[in-house]
Structure 1
Amino acid sequence: MISVKAPGKLYIAGEYAVVETGFPAIIVALDQFVKVTVSTADQFGSIMSKQYQENSLYWTRENDRMVFDDRDNPFHYILSAIKLTEEYAKTLNKPLGLYHLKINSELDSDDGKKYGLGSSAAVTVATIHALCQFYELPLDKDRLFKLAAIAHFEVQGNGSLGDIAASVYGGWIAYHSFDREWLKLARKNYDLPQLLTEKWPGLKVDLLTPPADLKLMIGWTGSPASTSHLVDKVALAKAKDDMDYQTFLNESKKCLLAMIEGFKRGDLAAIKTEISRNRQILAGLSRLSGVIIETENLKQLCDIAEHFNGAAKSSGAGGGDCGIVIIDKNVPTTALIAEWQKNAIEPLNFNVHTLN
C-alpha cells in the first residue's frame, strides 16, 4: 500500500493580485494534511473519503436551467488528478491498473467546520503524488507542482495556484503566479512530458526563512467562504475599472516585494509594517469591487491583534474563514487569545510545516 500526505496552506499576503501573471504572494504550508493511500484492486477500483461523502454543491439558475458549480466539490479535483496522472502514465507507456484510493483530510474539523486551508489543492497534490508512486512515474517537486496545477486549474478555471505551491514545497514561500492563458494554449500544443519540462512564463517559487522572533497566529471566524466565487466577483470589477485595478496591483507588488526583503533581512518590524499595509491595500480593493473581503468578524480579529501589538489581516480571499497575525514571539498572547474567544473567534493551534 502506498501512503502520502500533502499539507494545507494559509495566505499571508498578496491575495487577489497574485492571480495576475508574475505578481507575488507569501503563503505558508500548515501541519494539517490530506492523506491519500493507494492499494491494488482486483475487479473494481474505489474512491473513498469519510469527509467528502456528503459534500454540498453550489448551483444557480440560468434561463430556467439549474446549473451546478463544481469548483467547491473536492471529488472533482480528485477525478481531475486521477485523469491527468493516468494521461502522464500513458505517455510513458505504463499499463493502467485498478486501485482503491482512500482520502482522509485533517483540513476540516471533525465536526465539519471548514477552515479554508486549501483542501482542494492538498487533495489534488496528494492524489497525484500517490498515483505517480503507484505507476512508478518520474516525479520531483517541480513536476508535482505542474501536474497538480494543471489538474486543479482544469476544474477551477481561475485562481493563482499558490495553494498548490504551498502544498508541494512546504514552509514559507514567495510565489509568483504563472500565465494561465499560456497554460491553456500549451495544453493543446504540448504533450505532458514536454509541458512538465517547459519553463512556465511568470512562475517563480522562492523558499523564505522567517525571522527567529516571528510568531504566526491564526484565528477562525466561523464563517466559511468560497474562493472561486469571490475571485469571479473581483474579476468583474477589474473589467469595469481597469485603471484603479492597476493601481491596486502596483501597490500590492510594492508591498510584497518589501515584505520579501524583510524576510531576507530577518526584519520582523518591516514584515509587520507591510502586513498592515497589505490590509489597507485589500480594503481599497474591497471598495473598488464591492466584494466584502474583511467581514465584521475579520475586522474584530485584526483590531484585537493590533491592540496587542500584532500586525493582522484577512487570509486568502477573505469573506470569512481565517485571519492571520504576525507578532513578536516574546510578546505574551494570552490576553489577545482571551479577547478573541470573547468575540467568538477561534484560535487555531496549527504550525508551519516544512518539507525536506
Structure 2
Amino acid sequence: MIKKIKVSAPGKLMLLGEHAVVYHRPCLVAAISQRLFLEGEKIPENKIFISAPEMGIFDFAVSPFDLEKEQPKEVKFILEAIKNFFRKYKVESGLKIKTKSQFSAEYGFGSSSAVSVCTIKALAELFQIKMGKKEIFDLAYKTVLDIQKVGSGFDVAAAVYGGILYFLTGGKIIQPLKVKKIPLIVGYTGKKASTSEIVKRVKSEMEKNPDYYENLFDQIEKIVEKAKSEIENENWKEVGRLMLENQKILRKFKTPSKKYGVSSPTIEKLIRASLEAGAYGAKLSGAGRGDCIIALGKEKEKVEKAIKKAGGFPLSVKIDFEGLKIENKI
C-alpha cells in the first residue's frame, strides 16, 4: 500500500489557436519543461492539510466535510480536485498535500491545470485506483471548469500528455505531433493576465456580433491546420509566418481593446523587437493582454536580447515530452 507519493506535471504554452479553441476549433499547445511538483500523503486525522509556499500557504487546514464551502483562491483547485475525486470514487481520508513549482503563477504557464492534474494523479495512486490519461484529463478538466466556468481544457491536456498537441475543445481530440524540437523563444511581458476575465469579455462581445467572431475563428482554424503539418515538417519559417497571421486576427477582436483586440502595446512592442532581431514569427501566447509572447527562430540569443531591450523578460523554456509522471512513491 502506498503511503506517500510525489508526482509532477509540466506547464504549457499556447502556440496557435487561442480563443478559437473555446468555440470548438482546434489549437496547438506545447507542454514546457518547467514543472509543478505535488507530494500527497494519507493521514489518520480527518483533516486536509495543504502547504503551497509559492502561493504563501503554509499548513492550511480544512475538514473533508467543508469541501463544499468557499475556499481561498490559492488552494481552490487542489480542494476542488479532491472533492471531485472523493465524490467520483466514493472514498475519503485525511490528507497532507505539499506543492512546489518551477514556474511562477504570474507567467500564465497553466499552474491551476497542472496542480489539478497532479492532485488527481496523487489521489489515484494513494487510493490504488487505476486511471488512464483520458480519465485524469476528464476529471481535472471538470475541476477547472467548476471553478473558472470557462475554458477549453488545452492546458489540462498539456499537463497530462506532454509534447506538442493538436487539441480540440473539451478533449474531443488530443493528438501528439510527431516532432521532437522547436526553435521556441519566450518572453514575459511583465504583466499577469486574467484568462477567465478576458475569455468572458470575448464571449460577451461575441454574443453581440456572432458572425464577425465565427469568421475570425474559422480563419484561425485554417491557420492551425496548416501549422500542424508545417510543424511536423519542421518548416519553421512557414510556422513563423502563420504565427504572424494568427496574431493579426487576434488584433481584430473588438475587446478588451478596440485598437489592439486581445493584444496590447507591450505585446506588440516585444513582437516587433523579436522580428527585427531575426525571428521568423512571433505572437502572444494564451488569453492575451499580458503573460507571454512566443517567437520562432534560430537566433535565440539575439532575439532574447531584443526582448529584454524592449522591456520584456526572456524565459528559458524547453518542450517537455514526458507529461504527467510519478517522481517517487513510498
Deviates more, 1:263-272 or 1:23-32: 263-272
1:306 aligns with 2:275: yes
The residue type equivalent to 1:10 in the other structure is L
Match of 2:21 in 1: 18
CA distance 1:335–1:267, shift in 2 (3 Å) = closer
Structure 1 distance, partners of 2:198, 2:48, is 36
Match of 1:262 in 2: 230
DSSP-derived class of the 2:252 partner: helix
- String of CA shifts for 1:176-199, please: whole Å, max 9, x gaps: 103xxxxxxxxxxxxxxxxxxxxx
Match of 1:187 in 2: none
DSSP-derived class of the 1:266 partner: coil
Q: How does 1:16-55 map to 2 (within 5 A)?
A: 16-21=19-24, 23-43=25-45, 44-53=47-56
Structure 1 regions of 5+ residues with no counterpart?
56-69, 179-199
Q: How many equivalent residue pairs? A: 306
Match of 1:104 in 2: 100
DSSP-derived class of the 2:96 partner: strand
Instruction: Assess if the C-alpha contact under 8 Å between 2:282 and 2:293 holds in 1.
Output: yes
Instruction: Assess if the C-alpha contact under 8 Å between 2:277 and 2:306 holds in 1.
Output: no
Instruction: Assess if the C-alpha contact under 8 Å between 1:219 and 1:324 holds in 2.
Output: yes
Structure 2 distance, partners of 1:80, 1:293, is 30
Q: Note the C-alpha offset of 1:72.
A: 9.8
Structure 1 distance, partners of 2:284, 2:292, is 6
CA distance 1:71–1:215, shift in 2 (3 Å) = farther
Match of 2:110 in 1: 118
Structure 2 regions of 5+ residues with no counterpart?
59-69, 324-330
The residue type equivalent to 1:49 in the other structure is A
Q: How does 1:1-356 map to 2 (within 5 A)?
A: 1-21=4-24, 23-43=25-45, 44-53=47-56, 73-90=73-90, 95-108=91-104, 114-178=106-170, 203-210=172-179, 214-286=182-254, 290=258, 292-310=261-279, 311-327=281-297, 329=298, 332-355=299-322
CA distance 1:71–1:302, shift in 2 (3 Å) = farther
The residue type equivalent to 2:18 in the other structure is E
Structure 2 distance, partners of 1:334, 1:289, is 32
Structure 1 distance, partners of 2:115, 2:296, is 28
Instruction: Assess if the C-alpha contact under 8 Å between 1:24 and 1:253 holds in 2.
Output: yes
Q: Note the C-alpha offset of 1:51.
A: 1.9
Instruction: Assess if the C-alpha contact under 8 Å between 2:255 and 2:262 holds in 1.
Output: no
Structure 2 distance, partners of 1:259, 1:249, is 15
DSSP-derived class of the 1:51 partner: helix
- Please report the TM-score for the alignment, with normalisation by the length of structure 1: 0.81
Q: Note the C-alpha offset of 1:341.
A: 1.5
CA distance 1:72–1:228, shift in 2 (3 Å) = farther
Deviates more, 1:97-106 or 1:70-79: 70-79
The residue type equivalent to 1:20 in the other structure is Y
The residue type equivalent to 1:348 in the other structure is L
- String of CA shifts for 1:83-128, please: whole Å, max 9, x gaps: 11112221xxxx52222111112221xxxx7111111111100111
Runs of 4+ in 1 over 4 A off after TM superposition: 286-289
Aligned identity (percent) is 27
- String of CA shifts for 1:184-226, please: whole Å, max 9, x gaps: xxxxxxxxxxxxxxxx7xx1011113475x4000000111010
- Please report the TM-score for the alignment, with normalisation by the length of structure 2: 0.87
Q: Note the C-alpha offset of 1:54.
A: 6.0
Q: Note the C-alpha offset of 1:40.
A: 2.4
The CA RMSD over aligned residues, in Å, is: 2.2
Q: Note the C-alpha offset of 1:308.
A: 2.5
Instruction: Assess if the C-alpha contact under 8 Å between 2:202 and 2:255 holds in 1.
Output: no
CA distance 1:263–1:151, shift in 2 (3 Å) = same
Instruction: Assess if the C-alpha contact under 8 Å between 2:57 and 2:74 holds in 1.
Output: no
Instruction: Assess if the C-alpha contact under 8 Å between 1:211 and 1:263 holds in 2.
Output: no
Q: Note the C-alpha offset of 1:253.
A: 0.7
Q: Note the C-alpha offset of 1:268.
A: 2.0
Deviates more, 1:116-125 or 1:270-279: 270-279
Q: Note the C-alpha offset of 1:287.
A: 6.3
DSSP-derived class of the 2:75 partner: helix
CA distance 1:302–1:71, shift in 2 (3 Å) = farther
